[in-house]
Chain A
Amino acid sequence: MTKEEEKEIDQSKMTISEEVVIKVEQMNKWFGHFHVLRDINLTVNKGERIVICGPSGSGKSTLIRCINRLEEHQKGLIEVNGVELNDDVKKIDKIRSEVGMVFQSFNLFPHLSALENCSLAPIWVRKMPKKEADDLAMKYLEIVKIPEQALKYPGQLSGGQQQRVAIARALCMEPKIMLFDEPTSALDPEMIKEVLDTMIDLAQGGMTMLVVTHEMGFARKVANRVIFMDEGQIVEQNNPNDFFNNPQSDRTKLFLSQILDH
């Protein structure tokens, strides 16, 4: 198989159930006096693949970081797996162990090997015996197709490999939801594909995914819903087909014309 060849996508594997896993209602967030997110309403069902796009500074990262409370919201409600996010530290730690997150800059732990990066949380959060956690970590490193790198340290891996370790690390907690914040923007073009392929595999496995990305090809193929954000608001959301071919708002049209031009 050549590198350019597109990954086959089997839509039938990506089913969406009725169960609501994320509910955001009238959510507002400020950074000091700066109103970053305004009246966000969002309901995500189990199995959905949502791509969030929008211009820089529109609050995409902030939105998905609010969902596992890396950022605190000030008004409104966020419910994940039926648990409301508030000041209760224990609830938040529990939510975080059920919601995986992949960052633009990987955020791997440089003092631990790839394997240890993955087995750490199962051992300490899920209280798994070390042997079992290592097996689990190995299983997910195989799923992201880099088992041979298990004993290397992050500094010895390429960007694409690091990002796949980061995905495996998140998967090791066997999360119900995965959040991706521009997972490919720090990568060279040839590495982007290997990370996107991993994400496609994940989607086919039925994972609920919220992905902030500018990879519109990925959005077209994998997403069942595309959300466009601007100035802290959700401006438009639609299925990919209608979103790309028939955008409603002017701001969306402008944005699409800018990113699809080149």
Chain B
Amino acid sequence: MRNNNYKFVQKEVIAQQPPPLSQAGVTGWLWKNLFSSMSNFSSISAALQSIIMIILTFVLLYFCGGQLYSLIDFALISAVWSDPEVLKRGSCTTVDQGGSLPSGWSGACWPFIFAKKKLLIYGRYPAEELWRVNLVYLTLFLGIGYTLFEGAKGRQWTGLAMLTIFPLFALILLTGANFNISWSTNLLLLGLSILFIFFGELTRRNFLGNIISELTSLFYICGVTLFLIFIAALLLSIDYGLSYVETSDWGGLLVTLVVAITGIVASLPLGIILALGRRSNMPIARTISTIFIEFWRGIPLITVLFASSVLLPLFLPDGVDFNKLLRALIGVMLFSAAYMAEVVRGGLQAMPRGQFEGASAVGLSYFQSMRLIILPQALTHVIPGIVNTFIGLFKDTTLVLIIGLFDLLGQAQSTIADAYWSSPAQAPTAYLTVGIMFFVFCFGMSRYSMFMERKLSRGHK
């Protein structure tokens, strides 16, 4: 018999020991990565190789270092930081150009950005209502920060609130709500949702035959979603005493974040549904998903945006006014969902058949095994692809410029046209600023995804 005395079982994994000193720290790193490949003079060929490596290293250092230095010089050292006398363009131009700086000067003109910061961050949002945007920004960053912070208490609930309540909250604050939603629309939504839930209940009790009973969850999901939309519609039609702000007055970072976050948040669930649909055994679901995905992947985002702003209104009945931003949002959402679907499908494809069988063998239903077994693993495997799509989407938001929405880049471009600040440094400074802001967001996403990957793969690699 085996004995049950596990006194000697090691409970913890022994912690890793630090490497020997010659391998550790800056010296170790430098040695291993830089010098070890170019300090071998033991034979003629090795010596030749080392010499070539040394020359190449210096050439590269010279060029990269030069570039890096000119960038730092432009952005920090030679840059103009303040404009105490409110000279505007005069503060950033040389004597030859009519300013006060020595001729030959070149550097960033930061006072210009400081003067335009409201435009870059809020667009033409009315100045006295800026607190609304600030409140949204604050909740957004606090909420995301808290949700992503490992070990925070109740972070999954915060995350859920960020996905459900926050968008509504942001919408109400940013627009001012008080929408004119007719009672018939509300009743229609409520009626439909009750109908779906009723169907769900019927199929759950097997009143409609066996085959339809697979659709139970679908009915419930549709019903609950419609009900939530109904609640949202009710909340949006209340007058909160906030003045209405047209979306055409939104701009800069605000538009970038609204478009990007909507696209990101919507694309993952939609993408998962589409990916599951494309792999499902039900011919209808498969065909619809495939057509949808291939359609949206087949056209460029610019075309989608153009179509949404130029083509779509032609098909809408007269008098139906469909907000330009909303149309762009829907276009971006569907477009990114199609891409996401293929990324997720890649992950599903890589799952071994045994996982599906193991899940069914213990009695999990299709939806349960997808949610609990397959998707957690498949999504973990494709985190790099998912984040890639997110980052791509974030940067693609700049395309909304062509349908007349002013995102960060568009807004920056519009500020360049300001003649009061016209100087050779104006455009480079504006683009540098936009570049830095985009980099911060994209790099942040990238780092967080790396952290997630490490965390999730800890258990089972």
Contacts and interface: CB of A to CB of B under 8 A. Distances in A.
B9 A107 contact: no
B211 interface: yes
B4 A96 contact: no
Nearest to B211: A87
Size bracket of the B interface: 20 to 34
A155 B359 CA distance: 18
B273 interface: no
A113 interface: yes
A103 B372 contact: no
Contacts of A188: none
B70 interface: no
B461 A105 contact: no
B9 A96 contact: no
Contact of A103 (B4, B358, B363): B358
A220 interface: no
Contacts of B206: 90
Interface string B327-356: 000000000000000000000000000110
Contacts of A194: 2
Contacts of B4: 145
A113 B459 contact: yes
Given A87-B210, A89-B210, A173-B363, A1 B372 contact: no
A260 B359 CA distance: 36
A161 interface: no
B213 A97 contact: no
B361 A68 contact: yes
A103 B459 contact: no
Contacts of B365: 89, 93
B270 to A, nearest CB: 24
Contacts of B211: 87
B461 A170 contact: no
A153 B456 CA distance: 12
B8 to A, nearest CB: 10
A96 B460 contact: no
Interface residues of A, number: 37
B372 A120 contact: yes
A103 B354 CA distance: 8
Nearest to B369: A124
A120 B210 CA distance: 26
Interface stretch (B77-85, B373-381, B434-442): B373-381
A78 B355 CA distance: 25
Contacts of B287: none
B363 to A, nearest CB: 3
A145 B2 contact: yes
A180 to B, nearest CB: 12
A170 B213 contact: no
Contact of A90 (B1, B213, B368, B373): B213
A195 interface: no
Interface in A93-109: 93-94, 96-98, 100-101, 103, 105-109
Nearest to B380: A111
Nearest to B368: A124
B362 A96 contact: yes
Contacts of B210: 87-90
Interface string A64-105: 000010100000000000000001111001101110110101
A98 B361 CA distance: 10
Contacts of A170: 361-362
Please give me the 8 A-B residue pairs with the lowest Cβ-Cβ distance, nearest first: A97-B363, A107-B358, A121-B362, A107-B354, A110-B460, A101-B361, A96-B363, A125-B363
7 contacts: A1-B1, A88-B210, A88-B213, A100-B362, A103-B358, A105-B354, A121-B362
Interface of A: 1, 68, 70, 87-90, 93-94, 96-98, 100-101, 103, 105-111, 113, 120-121, 124-125, 145, 147-148, 153-155, 169-170, 173, 194
Interface of B: 1-2, 4, 6, 9, 206, 210-211, 213-214, 354-355, 357-366, 368, 372-373, 376-377, 380, 456, 459-461
Given A87-B210, A109-B359, 18 more contacts: A87-B211, A88-B213, A89-B213, A89-B214, A89-B365, A89-B366, A90-B206, A94-B363, A96-B362, A96-B363, A100-B361, A101-B357, A101-B361, A109-B377, A111-B380, A111-B459, A125-B363, A155-B459
